[in-house]
Amino acid sequence: MSADLSGALGELAALLRCCGEEARAAWVDERRERIAGAGDTAQARERLEIRNVLAGMGSLGDLYLEPTAECELTEREVVARQAELIRRLDLLTGYSGPAQESRRAIAVGQSSTDLDDRGG
């Protein structure tokens, strides 16, 4: 497992604990441990499981985190840290962004049959 992914998962678990989300932090720690000792296929499965909880309804990105009294972060810092960690984990678990190569647009007045190998 890459040290970057392990570090990001550790930071996420710490942030969740800072906000009283012990059960979610334990889930993140478990994924971190599973990935550390897994082969390529199992690592890919765990990365996908992590990706599945990053965004959408009920996800880590949708989760409202509020720092506990013991937490040294402000609410604003927690929100910023949560967003930054989700972005990092998105990249570290396989997001490559929208495909940039060979985008082809159809110009006004053309149809798809007008496109050729030169890109339109």
How does pLDDT run across 48-107, given as a tens digit for each residue?
889 988 888 888 888 999 999 999 999 999 999 999 999 999 999 985 555 444 344 555
On whether residue 108 sits in a domain, the answer given is no
On whether residue 105 sits in a domain, the answer given is no
On whether residue 24 sits in a domain, the answer given is yes
State the amino acid at position 4 in one-letter form.
D
On whether residue 112 sits in a domain, the answer given is no
Alpha-carbon distances, residue 94 vs 31, 42, 67, 76, 87 (angstroms): 16, 14, 29, 28, 11
Calpha distance 82→78 (Å, rounded): 6
On whether residue 106 sits in a domain, the answer given is no
On whether residue 45 sits in a domain, the answer given is yes
Confidence (pTM): 0.74
Residue identified by tokens 């990001």 is 8
On whether residue 117 sits in a domain, the answer given is no
- DSSP annotation of 72 reads S
Q: What total number of domains does the chain contain? A: 1
> 40 is in which domain, residue-wise?
3-92
Q: Could you give the residue ranges of the DSSP H alpha helices within 1-120? A: 3-18, 22-36, 40-51, 75-92
